Each structure stands twice: as C-alpha cells, then as structure tokens.
A = this chain, B = another copy of it.
Amino acid sequence: MASLAVHSKKHKVCVVGSGNWGTTIAKVIAENVKENKDIFDAEVQMWVFEEEVQIPKDSKHFDPGSELCKKPQKLTQLVNGLHENVKYLPGIQLPENIIANPDVVDAVKHATILIFNLPHQFIGRICDNIKGKHLPYARGISCIKGVEVSDQGCDLFSDSIGQKLGIYVGALSGANIASEIALEKWCETTVAYDPPHMDSRQPTPEGTPAGSPHGSSATLQDLNSVATTPKGKKQNLMALPAEYPPLNHANIKKLFHRPYFHVRMVDDVAGVSLGGALKNVVALAAGWVDGLGWGDNAKAAIMRVGILETIQFGEAFYSKTFKRETITEESCGVADMITSCSGGRNFRCAKMSIKEGKSINEIEERELNGQKLQGTSTAYEVHSFLKAQGMEKKFPLFTAVFDVLEGNKKPEDIPELIEPHNE
C-alpha cells in the first residue's frame, strides 16, 4: 500500500526570508524536521538578504572586547557561525540545522517546500529571481499577512506567488507575534493548505484512471492537475513524485506544530489571508471607540461586527472556497481579531489619536519611526475596491472607518453608521 511505503526521498524545506518572522518560522521548522526525519531532510535552508552587520548589544554574542564585535560581519556568516540572527532576532538561539544562504536560487533549488516569509514589497522581485529555478512540483506556504487590494480586485499573496511560479501555495496566519513565538511563549496559528486532489490511486479530474499508461504518471503520487485558485483562476500544477511522502494536512502540520505553537489545519486559503488583512481595519474602529472611553463592551461589539463583515467579504469575493468558520473559529480569524483590537499598533495609534485629539497620521509619524499603519492603507484599498463594486453600503463598518479617516464622519457616529435600519 502506498500509505505504508517507505518513501525514498525526503522533503527539503527552504524558508524564503529571514526577518524577525522569517527567522522565527525557520526556528520552528528546523526543530520539527529534526523530530520527523522520516519525512523531512534535516537541513533547513533560509534565504538571507546579505548585509554587513555589527553585532548589537542585545545579541547573545555581544562582547565589546571580542574580534567578532569589532567590525561588521556578513549576516549569513554570523547566522551560520553563531546560530543567531543577531540583526533580526537577537538573543534567540537557533537550531544548527538552519543554513543561511545569501543566494536565493541556490537556497530554493532542492526544496520541495518553500516557505515565503518576507515583506510583501519584495515578493515580485524574488519570484522573478527563482522562477523556473525551483523544483517544478514544489509546494509553498505564504506567511505574509495581508492581501493586495485595488479598484481592480483583491488578490491573496499566496495566489500571486503561486501564479507567478506555477506552484500551489497555501497560507499561514494567526494571532502570532514573532518575538513571543521565538521565546516559545504559547500561541496558536492556522495553516491553510488544499492543493487539488491528485492522488494517483484516484481518477484525475480529467477522468484518467490511476496507474494508467501515462508515462511517468504511474510513479507520481498525485497526477499533474488543474488547480483552481480561490479567485477561480485555473492553474496547471505538476504532481509531487511518488518517491516523496505525501504533503497532506498531517505532514504539513508536523512542519509547523510545536508544543508552544499549536497549529490547526484548514483548507480555506482565502479565509486565512482575509482574516489577517481585514482585522487591521477593524482595529482602527476598536481603537477609536476605546479612545472615546466607551469601554470593553463597545470594543467587543466592534470586533463582532468586524468578524461579520470579514465573513461577508469572503462570501462575496471568494465564494468558491471561503468558509465562515475560518473567521469565527480559527486563530487566523477571531483570535487574531481579538489580539489586534487589544494591543496591536493600529488599535493603539487609533486610540491615541482620540485621546490626544490628533490625526492618526500625526500619531503614526510620531510612534512608528517612519513605518506605516497597515490598517489605514487597507481601509483605503478596501473602500476603493468596494466602491468599484458598488458595495460600500453592504459593509457599513469598513465604510465607516474610511469615512472617519477621511474626516467625513466622526468616531462617535460609528454605532449609528453600523446600525441595521432595514430589519
């Protein structure tokens, strides 16, 4: 039986990205591959954008007298020599089986599993670099939060990476703060993974029976197949050869689940991605309401309405694959909403803007060191998209956030704006 076979090949993982969150995920994965040697190669490649780095004070290896600390060093050499990402995750001991690699093409070339964990503005360039250089049957997981929204449409990062590379890409999102996970403080996350059903023992979607004389198809664990993205686009996927252990929910979970990082697997990539994006818009409203002194109940009401509008968004624009339970019952939904509306930066800046009577842009400038709030940009993008669809009124909370940001409405108006008048 295929399920009992010892597979001759193992999965090799490459983490594309090595910031705070990328390095943390690499740590999680490196710990897990060591414990699942039957499935995964023991070495985890991590692509590191090469830079010269001076060891900072919060590094475990900071010692003003040492040679190492006297002048800048290459970051990859520091990671591989000290097993610490001194720049982006200082103070955290990394497993020795993380191999930092400055060459992204070299890092991905043998990987059957690509973990995308880099700032979204670099996605395009990195995909251009590795396109055609990775294994054609590789599978991906995007840990990049958010969605790309414009007048024209709303795209998931997992989809755009998948389309660019011609591979299937799932998504990971949850109520997660990288630095806390790095310290092994307990939290949960959600991984969405649902490549087309391509088991070679089943007929393919085209009806070809399993094991039929189709060249290499009999040796493929899952036949080449046509996938449909959450937006309904068709995509040709190459099957994973049968020499590899299957990449099903159980095995993907083994890659991410730790005693301090509990994973729940779902199929719904759109839900996981939307949860991580739209909560930032809701967090602004929660911050305003809290800033007005309206108390925890008002804040909880905003979150509840935010959950409903997120569901409505998913049902309107990703009806093929979206499931409301992803938002109401998973870490990427309700839990991330709660966390973001409790102490996230969008929430905090919105609250300060009310308490100090300043615009949120002023607060953003003062508090975020040049960084931008994701909630405000997402609110504008979502509004522009909804307007183009003629659906602003169906999303009264999202629209209210836009109107308050624009100065058309006051935060005090929110209850009236989101009250259903036609019931």
Contacts and interface: CB of A to CB of B under 8 A. Distances in A.
A328 B415 CA distance: 21
Interface string A288-326: 010000111111110110011001000000000000010
Interface string A396-413: 000000000000000000
Contacts of A147: none
Given A174-B297, A307-B328, 16 more contacts: A175-B297, A177-B297, A185-B297, A185-B298, A188-B297, A188-B301, A253-B423, A259-B415, A262-B415, A297-B339, A299-B339, A300-B336, A300-B342, A304-B330, A308-B329, A311-B329
Oligomer copy total: 2
A167 interface: no
Q: Which interface class (under 10, 10 to 19, 20 to 34, 35 or more) fits A?
A: 35 or more
7 contacts: A175-B301, A186-B298, A188-B301, A262-B419, A297-B339, A300-B335, A304-B330
Interface string A332-343: 001110110011
Contact of A260 (B174, B188, B343, B415): B415
A50 interface: no
A180 interface: yes
Interface in A377-423: 415-416, 419, 423
Q: Is the interface of A mostly helix, strand, loop or mixed?
A: helix
Contacts of A126: none
Contacts of A176: 297
Given A259-B416, A262-B415, A304 B339 contact: no
Contacts of A97: none
Interface string A150-187: 00000000000000000000000011110010000111
Nearest to A295: B180
A294 B334 contact: no
Interface in A268-297: 289, 294-297
A331 interface: yes
Nearest to A337: B300
